[in-house]
Structure 1
Amino acid sequence: MKKIAILLPDLRSGGVERVRILLAKEFSKNDYIVEFVLLKAKGELLKEALSDFVVVELGVNRIRELVFALPRYLIKNKPDILLVGMWPLTGIACILTTIFSKKTKLIVSEHVNLELSPTFTRIEKKFLAQFGRFIYAKANSVIAVSEGVADSISTLTGLSRERIKVIYNPVRNDSFIVNNDGFVDPGQAWWNGSNYKIIAVGSLKKQKGFEVLISAMKVVILSLDAKLIILGEGELRGDLEAQIDSLELKNNICLLGYKESPYDYLNKANLFVLSSHWEGLGNVITEALTAGVPVVATNCKSGPSEILCGGRYGKLVPVGDSLSMANAIIESLKSVHDTAALKMRARAFEPSYAAEEYMREFKWKNSR
């Protein structure tokens, strides 16, 4: 049996981490041995991973320490495949695997638009422009989670676009189970006192554009009895709470905080809204579609338009335009939607399909 090592910083409750656990479960069904290799063994998803897989902690506190820790792991454990996501882990793995473990097949994936993400400093972008093509070329396979992300890798690094494979992130297809144990979440009780229930999900940070959605809600409530719940936590909570107070929207918007599972809320929602300034793909859109929930999303780079097929399966609005967003929300809430069609679109993002695409890359004979 082939062994797959999945390298991550940790197992916090993020999009990449959830995707990796979904893929790991599918790989196991196909007779692969899976290990999670973590810089630090921590995070909300660690318990779930430990229940099914071996977890190896490298004990790395700073990314530069990976230069010593990863070769030790590769030499000792000899994985057949190393699956790495997110720069700079991808770049470091390309170099170290080439030097210390040429027999290990290296699969790297990027999940953000490299040109737009503010986590990439000007120095990093210049570095990638100068050396990125040579670094990524050392991988057996380079994967992007959307066409937009693939384009950004190619544009920034000069790596041939044909060298980059697009595999959409999978979404759990068995997660939309309503909680029937009699417990009523206080947030849901608050939400239920409205004719229209709107949900947004994401970390409270600049990328997600929640300030635009909050402004849009001021217009929405002039026409409809609607309440918005935002699931997520982050450094902008104070700023967003102040905005809600200043717009006198405390009765219409609730920052409910992080929830381990958003699916009970999605099942009860009339509309999902993504207000991001940028994305890699936008997994939460697919989660909403899987539940048959209509979507309004910004037409940001990159992902939403790809998932919604240019607006066929949801409304797309300009980035940062609160009035357009408000009008789209009102129109969508007043419209009748084909929930079966939304669910059918989501089937393209099932874990088994994504895993099959990855496993094709595992078998590719390209040598570094």
Structure 2
Amino acid sequence: MKILFFVGAMNAGGAERVAATLVNAWAARGDEVVLVPTHLGSSRSFYPINDNVRVHWLKQHLPALPLPSALRKWLGMRRVVRQEKPDVVLSFLTNVNVATLLSLRGLSVPVVVCERTNPAHATNVGRVLGWLRRRYYGTASAVCVQTSDAEKALRTMVQRLPAVVAIPNPLPNDIWHIQRQESVEKETPARVDALGRLVPAKGFSLLINAFAEVAEQRPDWHLYIHGEGPQRAELERQAELVGLKDRIHLPGRTEYPWHELAHSQIFVLSSQYEGFPNALLEAMALGLPCVTTDCPSGPADISQQGKDARLVPAGNKAAMAQALAELMDDRRLRGALGQRAAQSVRDRYALDVVLQQWDQVFKQVMQKE
């Protein structure tokens, strides 16, 4: 199978990492893969790309015509597809999806477009792009989202959609090489960890307040919030106000999140909303017992409605504090929940499992064409 994959850029980011994981896996198993970053800036990928993946930076294929930038880009995308003659075209992110659908009109190649956030909470889709999405998504062969919540939101926003399929992000194979030792439970201080950009949507203010509710009776526990962002000073002040500046740590962005989580006892996702919470998925894969808000979208799917993690209402400090206290106080419960979480996400989100879902979509759209 020959797959041509349009992405925006290949900078550091969740969508870009998933794109790299997919193209590398397809190339490794023998598919012919052409990756086309459409961003006209840097011609480098932050993530390693398999040598068997052919990378065409779109700016090298633009027509030398005095045309508006968007039109030149669309003509370049059309030119690449006509040259490569792929069996299927895949694209990530709303703006790239719209450009793909517009540029390939009239070509007899199946096109699968993928939303990478919950459309109900996307902040980067303006009025014009939103209108174009509503107008042209119906011309795609299939639309992929990451969660059932995102599927419901998209169906309410866009009429006359083709097949809509929820395919989650795969777990990178490298994560299985990280071993979380049983001796972690004896490390002091005991740790509650969270990961994410320091912005209000991540709910870290709520997490600090929930931790403060239970911290006095549990002096051996510390909270670590890994990340950077505009809310840092506010969160540092909050840690002082609750009297826990020595037990609430904001160490900044980590290059090695899995290694940090491997030394934690509990992971918390406190978000108000998510596109797809990779941090939660990866913490569960590492065998960490997790507390997560039931925010849109992803935590309910990943935790199997609270079976594999403690699922609490978004914005509910008391419920989060109670869930934290239960796990802090019961080592056996932490072990059992973490073990169940690791097996569950391996069964559902391992790379080979997710690749089978993509194969099914490709098979359906190619048969339809």
Same fold at TM > 0.5: yes
SS in structure 2 opposite 1:278? Answer: coil
Task: Give the Cα separation in 1 of the matches to 2:205 and 2:52.
Answer: 39
Please tell me whether the aligned partners of residues 215 and 221 of structure 2 are also in contact (alpha carbons under 8 angstroms): yes
**In structure 1, the residue corresponding to 2:121 is in which secondary structure?**
coil
Aligned residue number for residue 341 of structure 1: 340
Map Cα deviations across residues 34-66 of structure 1 (whole Å, 9 max, x no partner): 233221565996252376644333349xxx834
Q: What is the distance in 2 between the residues matched to 1:45 and 1:250? A: 39
Question: Relative to 1, partners in 2 of residues 1:7 and 1:260: Cα closer, same or farther, differing over 3 Å?
Answer: farther
Moved more, 311-320 or 244-253: 244-253
- Residue 96 of structure 2 corresponds to residue 96 of structure 1: no
Q: What letter corresponds to residue 159 of structure 2 in structure 1?
A: G
Q: Which amino acid aligns with 1:67?
A: L
Q: Are 1:9 and 2:5 counterparts?
A: no
Q: 1:281 aligns with which of 276, 279, 286?
A: 276
Deviation at 1:115, TM superposition (A): 1.5
Look up the equivalent residue of 1:11 and give its one-letter code: M
Describe the shift of the 1:279–1:47 C-alpha distance in structure 2 as closer, same or farther (beyond 3 A): closer
Aligned residues: 347
Partner SS state of residue 267, structure 2: strand
Q: Cα distance, 1:290 vs. partner?
A: 0.8
Q: Structure 2: how far apart are the matches of 1:79 and 1:234?
A: 43
Cα pair distance change 1:209/1:55, threshold 3 Å: farther
* Aligned 8 A contact 1:146 1:168 in 2: yes
Q: How does 1:120-199 map to 2 (within 5 A)?
A: 120-121=125-126, 123=127, 127-128=130-131, 132-160=133-161, 163-178=163-178, 193-194=188-189, 196-199=190-193
Paired AA for residue 206 in structure 2:
V
Q: 1:36 to 1:66 in 2, by over 3 A?
A: farther
Spell out, residue by residue over 1:171-197, the C-alpha distance to the aligned partner (whole angstroms, 9 max, x if none). 1243254599xxxxxxx9xxx641x21
What is the alpha-carbon distance in structure 1 between the residues aligned to residue 147 and residue 13 of structure 2?
Answer: 17
Contact 1:7 1:84 in 2 (8 A): yes
Q: In structure 1, what residue type is equivalent to 2:316?
A: D
What one-letter code is carried by the residue in structure 2 that aligns with 1:75?
A: R
- Counterpart AA for 2:152: D
- 1:205 correspondence with 2:199: yes
Instruction: Select 2:267's aligned residue among 264, 268, 272.
Output: 272
8 Å CA contact retained: 1:12, 1:43: no
| TM-aligned CA deviation for residue 360 of structure 1 | 2.1
SS for the counterpart of 1:88 is helix
Partner of 1:119: 124
Instruction: Give, in angstroms, the shift of residue 309 of structure 1.
Output: 1.0
SS of equivalent to 1:326: helix
Distance 1:202 1:29, change over 3 A: same
What letter corresponds to residue 18 of structure 1 in structure 2? R
TM-superposed CA distance for 1:152, in Å, is 0.7
User: How far apart are residue 74 of structure 1 and its match?
Assistant: 3.4
Alpha-carbon distance, 1:230 to partner: 2.0
1:71 is the counterpart of 2:69: no
Q: Distance in 2 between matches of 1:56 and 1:220?
A: 54
Letter in 1 for 2:357: E
Q: State percent identity of aligned pairs.
A: 25
Structure 2 counterpart of 1:220: 214
1:257 matched residue in structure 2: 252
Write out the 4+ residue segments of structure 1 that deviate beyond 6 Å after TM superposition: none
* Contact residue 177 and residue 263 of structure 1 kept, 8 A: no
Measure, in 2, the Cα distance between the counterparts of 1:134 and 1:119: 18
Q: In 2 relative to 1, CA 273–65 (structure 1 residues): closer, same or farther, beyond 3 Å?
A: farther
Using structure 1 for the length normalisation, give the TM-score. 0.84
Q: Distance in 2 between matches of 1:227 and 1:305?
A: 27
What value does the CA root-mean-square deviation take over the aligned residues?
2.9
Contact 1:167–1:354 at 8 Å: present in 2 too?
A: yes
The residue type equivalent to 2:30 in the other structure is: D
**Inter-CA distance 67–82: structure 2 relative to 1 (3 Å threshold):** farther
Letter in 1 for 2:18: V
Contact kept? 1:41, 1:57, Cα under 8 Å: no
Gaps of 5+ in 1: 181-187
After superposition, give the CA deviation of every residue in 1:292-341 in whole Å (9 maximum; x if it has no partner). Answer: 11110010111101111111111111112223212211112223232332
Counterpart CA distance in 2 for 1:283 and 1:246 is 31
What SS does the aligned partner of 2:5 have? Answer: strand
In structure 1, what is the Cα distance between the partners aligned to 2:329 and 2:41?
47
- CA deviations on 1:225-280 (whole Å, 9 max, x unpaired) are 21122222223223323323333332122222222331111212111100111112
Structure 2: distance between partners of 1:290 and 1:13: 22
Amino acid at match of 1:223: Q
Q: Is the 8 A contact 2:273 2:295 kept in 1?
A: yes
Matched letter for residue 20 of structure 2: I
Shift of 1:163: 1.9
Q: Is the 2:141–2:163 contact (alpha carbons within 8 Å) kept by the matching residues of 1?
A: no
Separation in 2, partners of 1:266, 1:124: 41
The equivalent of 2:305 in structure 1 is 310
Provide closer, same or farther for how the CA distance between residues 220 and 107 of structure 1 changes in structure 2, counting only shifts above 3 A: same
Structure 1 position 82 matched with structure 2 position 89: yes
Which TM-score applies when normalising by structure 2?
0.84
